[in-house]
Amino acid sequence: MKQIIVHAPATVANIVCGFDVLGLALNEPYDKLVMRLLPEKTIRIINKDNFMLPVEPEKNVFGGALLAMMRELGDNIGFEIESTKNIMPGSGIGSSAASAAGVVVGANHLLNSRFSKLDLVRFATYGEEIASGARHADNIAPCIYGGVTLIRSNDPLDIIPLNFPPLFVTVIHPQIEVKTSDARQILKKQILLKDAITQWANVAGLVTGFIKEDYDLIGRSLHDVLIEPVRSMLIPGFAELKKNSIEAGALGGGISGAGPSVFMLSKDEATAKKVEQAMRSVYEKIGVDFHIHLTTVNNQGVSIH
Ligand code: HSE
């Protein structure tokens, strides 16, 4: 039986100002899947970790994404997935997207690449919907394409991979769980025109900063007047994490996806290490358990081994 190993990277959605439209992929951490093709229309999920995620395909992110793909396949085939998640569910670094994106890229490889990357993003959003209640693609697109991606439109999907300069990413994960669906529920449904103007100016500035490899412009644009003021209340020590990281030399940063992880971008590794120390100190001082990653932007997206 043909077997493949799939690595699906963590991702940072929103990149501060680009709620639901910007995201980037990380080199660490990543989930690992072992996948096999089955000769009947079925989905078999075997969890090799302790997260106790459901194994019924209709309730599971893998299942949601694969069923969307299988609806367009017609063939009498199915998939077995052995999943080892290293990206903790509810951490804010794209745990559900890594499952959804990893499984569809793996399945497509087993099917000799019948589908385009855009199709794969579309299928994976059905998995994301099971976990977060919304078919947003800002984790899935960078997970599949690698690098930094802009989702100009969800329907029809329009994904633009962006050029970007070398970036180091420090991500701190306080050991609390924030459900994306809850973190979406608390957002204001209406915003002021003056705030919208600030926000789209910063999204345009950030995209331009990436393309022109202008670190100062990236730093100036990492500013969010819509989402951060609401969601930061869910994150212990948020204001201090941000202030101390910027004092340590970070370009800027904020909530990763729906949180509770907080990420910071730095120009070089030495600065990112200082930022890591600054972030650690905040949580050591207030006594919050955490995991921390110092990594870079992943250019490749989901990979097959
Ligand atoms: N854009 C989504 C949100 C990402 O912020 O709700 C969730 O990971």
Q: What are phi and psi of 219, to 5 degrees?
A: -60, -45
Phi/psi of residue 17, nearest 5 degrees: -90, -15
138 pocket-lining for ligand 1 (C-beta < 6 Å): yes
Q: Is 135 helix (H, G, I), strand (E, B) or coil?
A: coil
Q: Do you find a cis peptide bond into 9, omega within 30 degrees of 0?
A: no
Domains of the chain in sequence order: 3-163 (3.30.230.10), 168-296 (3.30.70.890)
Provide the residue type at 196 as one letter: A
**Per-residue confidence (pLDDT) for residue 207, from 0 to 100:** 98
Tell me, what's the pLDDT at 133? 84
Ligand 1 geometric centre to CA of 76 (Å): 35
232-266 pLDDT, tens digit each: 999 999 999 999 999 999 999 999 999 999 999 99
pLDDT the model gives residue 101: 98
Beta pairing partners, 252: 265
128 labelled catalytic: yes
Between strands 78-84 and 148-154, the pairing is unpaired
Q: Cα 62 from chain centroid? A: 16
5-58 pLDDT tens trace: 999 999 999 999 999 999 999 999 999 999 999 999 999 999 998 888 888 888
Yes or no: say if 135 and 154 are a contact pair by the CB < 8 Å rule. yes
Q: Identify how many contiguous H helices and E strands the chain contains and give both numbers.
A: 10, 11
> Is the shortest distance between the CB of 179 and ligand 1 below 6 Å?
no
Q: How many residues does the chain have?
A: 305
- CB of 255 within 6 A of ligand 1: the answer is no
Check whether 1 has a pLDDT greater than 80: no
pLDDT in tens, 46-102: 999 888 888 888 889 999 999 999 999 988 899 999 999 999 998 999 999 999 999
Query: What pLDDT score was predicted for residue 276?
Result: 98
Q: What is the pLDDT of residues 260-274, one digit of tens each?
A: 999 999 999 999 999
pLDDT at 297: 98
Going across the sheet that includes 168-174, the strands are 252-255, 262-266, 168-174, 290-296
Query: Ligand 1 centre and the CA of 241: distance in Å?
Result: 20
Is the CB of residue 98 less than 8 Å from the CB of residue 8? yes
- Helix residue spans in 213-294 (DSSP H): 215-221, 228-231, 238-247, 269-286
Q: What is the Cα–Cα distance from 277 to 215, expressed in whole angstroms?
A: 22
Beta strand 78-84 with 157-162 is unpaired
DSSP 167: -
**Pairing between β-strand 43-47 and β-strand 78-84 as defined by DSSP bridges:** parallel
Per-residue pLDDT tens over the stretch 96-145: 999 999 999 999 999 999 999 999 999 999 999 998 888 889 999 999 99
pLDDT of residue 180: 87
Cα–Cα distance measured from residue 182 to residue 291, given in angstroms and rounded to the nearest whole number: 22
Q: Which two tokens stand for residue 248?
A: 């340590």
The per-residue pLDDT for range 191-234, each reduced to its tens digit, is: 999 999 999 999 999 999 999 999 999 999 999 999 999 999 99
Ligand 1 atom closest to the Cα of residue 184 is 6
Q: Which of 22, 24, 125, 132 to mutate to test the pocket of ligand 1 (most atoms within 8 A of CB)?
A: 132
